[in-house]
Amino acid sequence: MAGETATEYLRDLWYMPALASSLKRGDMRREMLLGEPVLLGRNHSGEIFALRDICPHRGVPLSAGRIKSDNSVECPYHGWRFRKDGVCSAIPSLVAGQDFEPEKIKVRTYPACEQDGLIWVYMAATPGAAPKSQPPRVGSDHKMRWTEIQNFACGIDHAVIGLMDPTHGPYVHAHWWWKKTPRVKEKHYAPLPNGFVMTRHKPSKPVYSVLGDVETEITFELPSTRFEILTGKLLGKSFNVVGLTVCTPRDAGSTDVIQVFYWPGWLNFIYPLFWALGRTFIGDDRKIVELQREGLKFNPNLMLIQDSDQPAIWYHRIKKAWAESVENGTEFVNPVRERVLRWKS
């Protein structure tokens, strides 16, 4: 595994650039996504849309303009307007008798949708292609209770494998109030359609004890979607807590880590725990990749070992298999096989 290599972004997949609450009606802004400038907007009717954030006339960012009353996007340079389907609907400078059809001009569009309080954008391998899948679903009818977004100064690969790494806890999160003695752990893994799952088990971290008798399942699927699903019973009531973490690549050296949690209202007593620990733990992971960057400047050869690095090994294999399937137009075959992993942490 090389140090800093050219980022290979996966296509024909959904990425999550923002929380739905961050975009009000009539608002739009630029979101860098996979190194591309994307205009993310919500028109006056409340619909989410995404366009390439470059006016084809003179290259000005369309996001610097405004959304008109007819829901078209107006370029700030010459007032050219574009509908949410990317088609140019007006060129104000044209006068009667000039033989020019604005409708022949089009800006690239990106399929976008809003669900579970999140905004998802589909990054197709072929511009304009329809999505081949649906965006990930949280699968919970509970409200979003806690969110955290931090920018990691690294490419998506280092962000992903850093967050899924099972052995860094005693070192990266070595706070005086969190220290623990490493011990041997054994977890069962199985393949998923586009990733793998650490199957349901009783969590070892003492912090989970505040929720009584619980079990957890942790999934990972491409491009960077990690779910942790807690189920249990407390005071005679069954519950589930769903946590979603995604790594959203902005460009080759910048990745947003977005984490959201959903739980029933009667469990709101756990909110202070997330407020106190969530931001700190993600911040720990962010700081370590910043430190890692100091070594990666020299492009060292890196190592992945069994069993503790097996999730990272799977990630690279799955990513390679997906990229090849998209390039060749063949069916994706998941290289992950069912296995028990053992490590000490």
3-state secondary structure 146-205: EEEEEEECCCHHHHHHHHHCCCCHHHHCCCCCCCCCCCEEEEEEEEECCEEEEEEECCCC
Render the burial of 177-211: b for 16+ CB within 10 Å, e for the rest. Answer: ebeeeeeebebebebeebbbbbbeeeeeeeebeeb
User: Residue 67: what pLDDT?
Assistant: 98
The percent of residues in the chain predicted with pLDDT above 70, rounded, is 98
User: Residue 235: what pLDDT?
Assistant: 87
Which stretches of the chain drop beneath a pLDDT of 50? 1-6
With residue 119 as reference, give the H or E element that holds it: strand 118-123
Residue 234 burial (CB count, 10 A) = 14
Structural tokens at position 128: 């304009």
Residue 181 to residue 257: CA distance in whole angstroms: 28
Question: Is the separation of the CB atoms in 41 and 48 below 8 Å?
Answer: yes
Residue 285 to residue 343: CA distance in whole angstroms: 20
- Which amino acid is residue 140, in one-letter code? S
User: Residue 291: what pLDDT?
Assistant: 96
Which of 57, 80, 58 minimizes the C-alpha distance to 68?
80
With residue 214 as reference, give the H or E element that holds it: strand 213-221
Full-model pTM: 0.94
With residue 17 as reference, give the H or E element that holds it: strand 13-19
Q: How far apart are the first and last CA of the chain?
A: 23
Instruction: Note the Cα 165 to chain centre separation in Å.
Output: 17
- Which amino acid is residue 211, in one-letter code? L
Domains of the chain: 13-123 (2.102.10.10), 144-344 (3.90.380.10)
User: Residue 7: what pLDDT?
Assistant: 60
User: Residue 45: what pLDDT?
Assistant: 96
Question: Is the separation of the CB atoms in 264 and 243 below 8 Å?
Answer: no
Query: What number of CA atoms fall less than 13 Å from residue 6's CA on the CB side?
Result: 1
Residue 136 to residue 268: CA distance in whole angstroms: 25
User: Residue 72: what pLDDT?
Assistant: 98
- Which amino acid is residue 345, in one-letter code? S
With residue 255 as reference, give the H or E element that holds it: strand 254-262
Residue 273 to residue 287: CA distance in whole angstroms: 21
